[in-house]
Chains A and B, each alone.
Chain A
Amino acid sequence: AQSVTQLDSHVSVSEGTPVLLRCNYSSSYSPSLFWYVQHPNKGLQLLLKYTSAATLVKGINGFEAEFKKSETSFHLTKPSAHMSDAAEYFCVVTLGSGYSTLTFGKGTMLLVSP
């Protein structure tokens, strides 16, 4: 079985300050991990993915995440928040690299103030 826990339902930052969105996963096998972003009334956009290659993964819009097997974590970071980053972020796990269903975290709403 697999599961993912996003540790914060809401995170508030000021524009220009760092962003940290936390995610812990549980998986019986080597997982693939993703971060998706959802802007209001929009679908899900892939930010980045980990599929057992480099543990530090760089994504779009300046986001990156580090896969830490010992801590079963896959936290999302960005050095400097922008107003346009305000959205809901989902950490997602799937089993290995084969076909599988996606298991979503509950989401973290990122609020960015001027």
Chain B
Amino acid sequence: KAGVTQTPRYLIKTRGQQVTLSCSPISGHRSVSWYQQTPGQGLQFLFEYFSETQRNKGNFPGRFSGRQFSNSRSEMNVSTLELGDSALYLCASSEENRGRIDGYTFGSGTRLTVV
């Protein structure tokens, strides 16, 4: 099976711009979660999607949004970028079987730099 694929790997954006990141989960996985990793805050949960519905949301401002498509691919969008949004954004997919999660597989991440 192919792993979790995140594109692009690297991005440089200017303050005030917006950005869209993409995540393709492992085939058959319907849950996709997003995490932000920074040196200061560590790994923080952004949101989780399952079957095109947002199931959980972390404590991030409304500038951070996401969606999931019928093929389980997910995108996250950050509008009005700030310098503090510079981070590694990680996507994880998981297989849910009768309500049980059997582990999470992470992609290699998208490194976003805001200048």
Q: A residues touching B (Cβ–Cβ < 8 Å)? A: 32, 34, 36, 41-46, 49, 51, 90, 94, 97-107
Can you give 6 A-B contacts (C-beta < 8 A)?
A45-B106, A51-B102, A99-B31, A99-B56, A102-B92, A103-B45
* Inter-subunit contact B42/A104 (CB<8 Å): yes
Q: Which residues in B have their C-beta under 8 angstroms from that of A101?
A: 33, 45, 48, 56, 58
Within 8 A of A (CB), among B70-115: 90, 92, 94, 96, 99-109, 111
Secondary structure type dominating chain A contacts: loop
Q: Which residues in B have their C-beta under 8 angstroms from that of A49?
A: 103
Q: Which residues in A have their C-beta under 8 angstroms from that of B43?
A: 90, 102, 104, 107
* Inter-subunit contact A36/B106 (CB<8 Å): yes
* Inter-subunit contact A46/B103 (CB<8 Å): yes
- Within 8 Å by CB of B101, from A98, A103, A107, lies A98
A99-B31, A99-B96 known; A43+B42 contact, CB < 8 A: no
